[in-house]
C-alpha cells in the first residue's frame, strides 16, 4: 500500500528538479562513471560457489540495518547511511555520541552550543543542516532516535554509548519514515537485546585527569520466555580547566570534569510464537562542572561600540576593575571566571516495543514511550571575576509518544510496504537567569543627569534618576518560558520489484503540529516587565514525499537515484527583548536529490559506497547576534532566505589481507545562500554555513596478530580531518575553527582462554589545539570566547567477559 502524493507536491519537486545546477550533473556523471568502473572490477570470473566461499572466508561481514522498518543488508539499502557496530565504536575509543561525527562524512557533532555551558547539550549538523540553539522554542534539524523512540531536544543528546548494538547515521532528509525534524538526516541508536544466556562483562578504564570509568552488563533468563539485561556505566575524571583567582592565579575551582552514571534495564518477553515484547527503562545522572570557556578577545579600544565601554565608565572604573584584555589567559582551558559553574542532568524514561508477526507476509509493531528530563547548566561567558556576561539555565521536559506500524508484502512478494501513524506530546519549561553588564542600570540611575547633557524632563540619552531610557539598559533578565507541543503524523512507503534487479520506492508522510508558547520576561533591577504573561499559538502541517529507484547491476553493485523532501518545524523567538520581538518563524523545507552507488569487489574484500547530492533549502532558520541603536544585545531566530547545498561523500572499507582492516571516508559540502529575505541585515548572501566545513575525512587502519592458543594482539590508528569551520552565521574569523587533523591510537590484547582483554589507547595523539565551539558579542559587549577540544589523553582499560 503506497499513499499517493498530491499533484501540488510533485509539481514542486519536478519544478525544483529542473532548476538543479550543472555542478550536480557533472558530479552525477562522475559518480556513474565510477560505479561502472567499480562494477567492471568487481565482476570477476569465478563460479558462484567459489565466490560465496571466498566471501565467507575472507570477505567483509554484512551489516544489517532497519532504517526502512525491516532488516536488510546495508549494501542493498538505497540510502546514504553509515553504521558503526559496538566493536567499531570500542575500537575507536569512542565514549559518547558526539565523538562519532568525526568518522562519518559530511557530519559535524559538538556539545555546549551557543555558549550555553551545557556539556550534555548536543549540536549536530548533516550536510549543512542542523541546529545552533538549545532552547525549547527551536527544534533540531537532525532527528535522534533510541530504539525507535524520538528524542526531540538537544539537551541530553551527548549520550553514553552504553551496550549498543549499532549506531546508524542517515544522511539527507528522512521525512517519510522518520518524520519531522529530520530535514538534515537521522541518527538511530539500537541497544543490545537480552538473550537470557547468563553472559556479560565488566570493564575498568583508567587514564589521565584521574579517569575512572566502570561499565558492565549482565544478561540472564527469568524463565523460558522472559530474558533480562542490566547495563551500567559510571564515568569520572577531573577537570581539564582551572578557574584562577585574578592577580594571584590561585586555583579556585575546575571545569570540564566528568561525573555521570547511566543505567538501563532491558526485558524481552516472548509472549507467544509470533509476539515479542521488548521493554527498556533507562536513567542518566550527571553532576559536573561547566565546560571550559576561553576568553580570546576584549574590545579594549571600543572599536565595535556597544555597552562594554559604557559599563567600564560607570561601573568598572569606579569599582577599580574594568573589563579588559587583562582577563585573557593563554592556556586554552583556564579562566578567571567566578560565576555559576554547574552542569547537571537527570534523564529517565521507558519504552515498550511490541512486534507481532501476524503471518509470513504481515506484521504489526507498536512503540510506546514516556520520558522526563531535568537539567541545570550555567556559563560565565566573560571568563572574568566581573558580573559582565553570565547565564544560568534550568530546564525540565516531559514527552509521550506512540507509533504504530503495519509492515507487509503483497503481489507475490513483489511489493514490500509499511503504513503507520505517529502521535507525540511534549511539555517543556525553561527558567533562565541572564545577567548582562550588571550594575549598569543602578549606575545610570545614580548619575545626576543624562549622559549627553539633555534635560531629565526630555532625555535623549540614558542617565539621571527616573530616566525611562535607563530601563532599556537594565539587561539583567529573569526569563520564564513554557512550550507545549502536540504532533500527529500518518505515513506510508512501499518498494515494488519491477524486475529482479530493478526496484521502485515511493512514500509520503503527512504531519500536523501545534505549538503553544507561554512567556514572562522581567528586568531584574528596575522590576519592569519585558513581556508580561503572553501566550502565542501556531500550527503547521506538511506533506513530505519521497521517491527512489535502484538497480542491482550484479550481486556486488547497486546504483540508485532518489528525490526526498523534509521539513523542520517552525518555532518561536525565545529571547525577545521587546514585545514586538515575540514572534514565530516558519518551518524550513528542503528538497534533496541524490545519486549513489554501493559496491563490493575483489571477492568482497573491498567495499566502496558513494553518493552525490543537491538540495534546495528554503526558509532557513538562522540565529543572529547584533545590537540595536542603544548597543543592546539582540538575539533572534528568523527565516532568512534560500540556499543550495551540493556535495558528495565516499566511504571505503577494505580487508587487503586476513588480518588487516582499513576504513576511510571523505565528504564535501558546498553551502551557498542564494537569496536573503527582506529585513535580514546581520549577514550577507556571501555568508558561509555554520558548523559545515567544505571538506572532512577519516581513515582508520587496524592490524591483528594471531598469537598462541588463538589469542590476538591488534593495533589501530585513526585520523580525522575537518576543514575550516565557522561557528556563527556572521562568519566571525576570530572564533572560527581552523582546518585540523586529530589522531588516535589503540593497542589491544585479547586472551580468549580466560576471556579478558586489555587495551592501551591515546586520543588526540599530537595534543592538537582546535576550536569546537565559539560565541561572540562584539557589537554589543565587545567579547569573543571559544571552547577548545580535549587535550591528549592516555588510558588503559581492562575488560573481563563471562
Q: What is the DSSP string of 30-89?
A: HHHHHHHHHHHHH--S--HHHHHHHHHHHSPPP-EE-TTSS-EEGGG--S-EEEEEHHHH
Q: Could you give the C-alpha distances from 712 to 609, 702, 748, in angstroms and in order?
A: 30, 12, 8
pLDDT at 133: 81
Looking at residue 632, its pLDDT comes to 56
Q: Say if 453 falls within a structural domain.
A: no
Compute how many other C-beta atoms are within 10 angstroms of the C-beta atom of residue 197: 11
Helix, strand, coil shares, percent, the chain, to 5: 10, 55, 35
pLDDT digits (tens, 9 = 90+) for 614-641: 999 999 988 766 555 555 556 678 888 9
Q: In terms of residue numbers, what domain contains 537?
A: 7-437+475-801
- Per-residue model confidence (pLDDT) at position 628: 59
**pTM, full prediction:** 0.90
Query: What pLDDT score was predicted for residue 24?
Result: 46
Distance separating alpha carbons of residues 189 and 228, to the nearest angstrom: 19
- Residue 631, in any domain of the structure: yes
d(CA 314, CA 143): 47
535 alpha-carbon distance from chain centroid: 29
Element (H, E) at 335: none
Say if 446 falls within a structural domain.
no
Does residue 461 lie within any of the structural domains?
Answer: no
Number of structural domains found in the chain: 1
How far, in Å, CA of 15 to CA of 300, rounded? 53
pLDDT, position 37? 44
Q: Which three cell numbers stand for residue 320?
A: 577599580
Closest C-alpha among 563, 506, 505, 411 to residue 4: 506
* 363-413 pLDDT per residue, tens: 999 999 999 999 999 999 899 999 999 999 999 999 999 999 999 999 999
Kindly state whether residue 465 falls inside one of the protein's structural domains: no
Instruction: Give the closest residue to 776 by CA, choosing from 747, 743, 735, 746.
Output: 735
- Give the tens place of pLDDT for each residue, 252-273: 999 999 999 999 999 999 999 9
- Integer Cα distance of 60 and 287 in angstroms: 42
Indicate whether 129 belongs to any domain.
yes
Cα 612 to its chain centre, rounded Å, is: 22
The CATH number of the domain holding residue 622 is: 2.40.170.20
Asked if the structure places residue 442 within a domain, the reply is no
C-alpha cell at 44: 570477476
Instruction: Tell me whether residue 402 is exposed, middle or buried, using C-beta atoms within 10 angstroms of its C-beta: 0 to 12, 13 to 18, 19 or more.
Output: middle
Q: At 29, phi and psi to the nearest 5?
A: -60, -40
pLDDT at 14: 41
pLDDT of residue 7: 38
In a domain, 259, yes or no: yes
Residue stretches of the chain with pLDDT short of 70: 1-58, 113-115, 624-635
pLDDT of residue 9: 39
Q: Which residue has the cell 563471562?
A: 802
Residues 6+ apart with CB under 8 A from 236: 210, 211, 212, 213, 258, 259, 260
- Please name the residue that has the C-alpha cell 518551518: 587
Element spanning 330, H or E: none
| HEC per residue, 718-759 | EEEEECCEECCCCCCHHHCECCEEEEEEEEEEEECCCCEEEE
Amino acid at each position: 500500500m503506497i499513499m499517493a502524493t498530491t499533484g501540488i507536491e510533485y509539481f514542486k519537486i519536478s519544478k525544483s528538479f529542473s532548476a538543479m545546477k550543472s555542478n550536480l550533473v557533472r558530479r552525477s556523471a562522475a559518480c556513474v562513471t565510477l560505479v561502472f568502473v567499480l562494477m567492471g572490477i568487481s565482476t570477476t570470473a569465478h563460479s558462484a560457489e567459489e565466490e560465496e566461499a571466498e566471501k565467507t572466508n575472507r570477505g567483509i561481514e554484512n551489516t544489517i540495518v532497519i532504517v526502512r522498518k525491516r532488516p536488510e543488508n546495508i549494501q542493498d539499502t538505497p540510502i546514504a547511511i553509515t553504521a558503526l557496530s559496538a566493536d567499531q565504536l570500542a575500537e575507536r575509543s569512542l565514549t559518547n555520541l558526539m565523538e562519532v561525527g568525526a568518522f562519518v562524512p559530511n557530519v559535524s557533532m559538538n556539545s555546549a552550543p551557543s555558549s550555553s555551558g551545557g556539556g550534555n547539550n548536543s549540536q549536530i549538523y548533516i550536510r549543512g543542516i542542523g541546529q545552533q540553539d538549545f532552547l525549547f522554542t527551536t527544534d533540531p534539524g537532525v532527528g535522534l532516535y533510541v530504539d525507535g523512540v524520538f528524542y526531540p531536544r538537544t539537551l541530553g543528546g551527548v549520550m553514553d554509548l552504553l551496550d549498543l548494538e549499532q549506531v546508524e547515521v542517515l544522511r539527507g532528509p528522512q521525512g517519510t519514515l522518520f518524520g519531522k525534524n529530520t530535514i538534515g538526516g537521522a541518527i538511530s541508536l539500537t541497544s543490545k537485546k537480552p538473550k537470557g544466556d547468563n553472559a556479560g562483562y565488566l570493564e575498568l578504564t583508567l587514564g589521565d585527569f584521574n579517569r575512572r570509568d566502570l561499565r558492565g552488563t549482565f544478561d540472564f533468563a527469568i524463565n523460558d520466555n522472559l530474558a533480562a539485561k542490566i547495563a551500567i556505566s559510571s564515568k569520572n575524571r577531573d577537570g581539564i580547566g582551572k578557574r584562577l583567582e585574578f592577580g594571584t592565579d590561585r586555583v579556585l575551582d575546575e571545569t570540564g570534569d566528568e561525573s555521570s552514571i547511566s543505567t538501563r534495564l532491558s526485558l524481552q518477553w516472548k509472549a507467544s510464537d509470533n509476539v515479542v515484547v521488548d521493554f527498556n527503562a533507562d536513567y542518566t545522572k550527571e553532576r559536573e562542572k561547566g565546560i571550559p570557556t576561553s576568553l580570546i578577545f576584549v574590545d579594549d579600544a571600543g572599536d565595535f561600540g556597544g555597552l562594554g565601554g559604557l559599563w567600564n565608565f560607570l561601573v568598572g572604573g569606579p569599582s577599580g576593575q574594568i573589563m579588559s584584555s587583562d582577563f585573557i589567559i593563554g592556556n586554552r582551558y583556564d579562566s578567571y571566571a567566578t560565576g555559576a559553574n554547574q552542569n547537571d542532568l537527570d534523564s529517565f524514561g521507558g519504552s515498550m516495543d511490541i512486534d507481532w508477526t501476524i503471518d509470513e507476509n504481515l506484521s504489526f509493531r507498536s512503540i510506546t514511550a514516556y520520558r522526563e528530563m531535568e537539567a541545570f547548566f550555567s556559563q560565565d561567558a566573560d571568563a572574568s571575576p566581573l558580573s559582565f556576561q553570565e547565564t544560568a539555565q534550568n530546564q525540565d521536559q516531559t514527552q509521550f509518544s506512540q507509533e504504530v506500524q503495519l509492515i507487509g508484502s503483497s503481489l507475490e512478494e513483489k511489493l514490500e510496504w509499511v503504513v503507520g501513524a505517529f502521535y507525540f506530546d511534549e511539555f517543556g519549561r525553561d527558567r533562565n537567569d541572564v545577567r548582562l553588564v550588571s550594575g549598569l542600570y543602578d549606575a545610570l540611575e545614580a548619575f545626576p543627569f543624562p549622559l549627553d547633557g539633555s534635560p531629565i524632563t526630555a532625555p535623549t540619552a540614558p542617565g539621571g534618576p527616573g530616566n525611562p531610557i535607563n530601563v532599556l539598559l537594565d539587561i539583567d533578565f529573569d526569563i520564564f518560558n513554557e512550550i507545549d507541543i502536540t504532533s500527529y503524523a500518518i505515513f506510508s512507503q512501499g518498494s515494488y520489484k519491477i524486475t529482479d534487479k530493478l526496484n521502485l520506492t515511493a512514500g509520503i508522510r503527512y504531519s500536523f503540529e501545534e505549538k503553544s508558547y507561554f512567556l514572562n520576561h522581567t528586568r531584574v533591577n528596575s522590576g519592569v516587565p519585558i513581556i508580561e504573561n503572553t501566550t502565542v499559538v501556531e500550527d503547521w502541517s506538511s506533506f513530505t514525499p519521497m521517491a527512489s529507484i535502484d538497480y542491482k547491476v550484479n550481486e556486488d553493485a547497486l546504483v540508485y537515484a532518489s528525490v526526498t523532501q523534509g521539513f523542520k518545524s517552525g518555532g518561536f523567538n525565545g529571547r525577545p527583548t521587546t514585545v514586538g520581538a515575540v514572534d514565530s518563524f516558519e518551518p524550513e523545507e528542503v528538497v534533496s536529490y541524490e545519486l549513489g552507488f554501493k559496491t563490493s569487489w575483489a571477492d568482497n574484500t573491498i567495499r566502496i559506497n558513494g553518493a552525490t547530492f543537491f538540495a534546495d533549502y528554503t526558509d532557513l532558520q538562522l540565529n543572529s547576534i547584533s545590537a540595536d541603536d542603544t548597543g543592546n544585545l539582540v538575539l533572534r531566530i528568523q527565516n532568512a532566505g534560500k540556499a543550495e547545498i551540493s556535495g558528495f561523500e565516499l566511504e571505503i572499507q577494505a580487508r587487503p589481507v586476513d588480518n588487516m582492516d582499513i576504513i576511510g571516508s571523505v565528504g564535501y559540502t558546498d553551502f551557498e545562500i542564494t537569496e536573503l529575505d527582506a529585513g535580514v541585515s546581520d549577514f550577507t548572501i556571501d555568508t558561509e554555513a555554520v558548523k559545515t566545513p567544505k571538506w572532512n575525512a577519516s581513515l582508520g587502519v587496524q592490524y591483528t596478530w594471531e598469537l598462541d592458543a588463538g589469542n590476538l594482539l591488534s593495533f589501530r590508528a585513526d585520523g580525522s580531518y575537518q576543514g575550516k569551520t565557522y561557528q556563527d552565521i556572521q562568519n566571525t574569523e576570530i572564533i572560527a575553527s581552523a582546518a585540523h587533523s586529530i589522531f588516535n591510537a589503540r593497542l589491544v590484547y585479547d586472551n580468549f582462554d580466560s576471556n579478558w582483554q586489555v587495551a592501551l589507547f591515546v586520543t588526540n595523539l599530537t595534543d592538537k589545539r582546535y576550536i569546537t565551539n565559539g560565541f561572540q558579542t562584539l557589537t554589543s559587549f565587545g567579547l569573543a570566547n571559544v571552547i577548545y577540544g580535549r587535550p591528549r589523553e592516555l588510558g588503559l582499560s581492562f575488560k573481563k567477559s563471562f
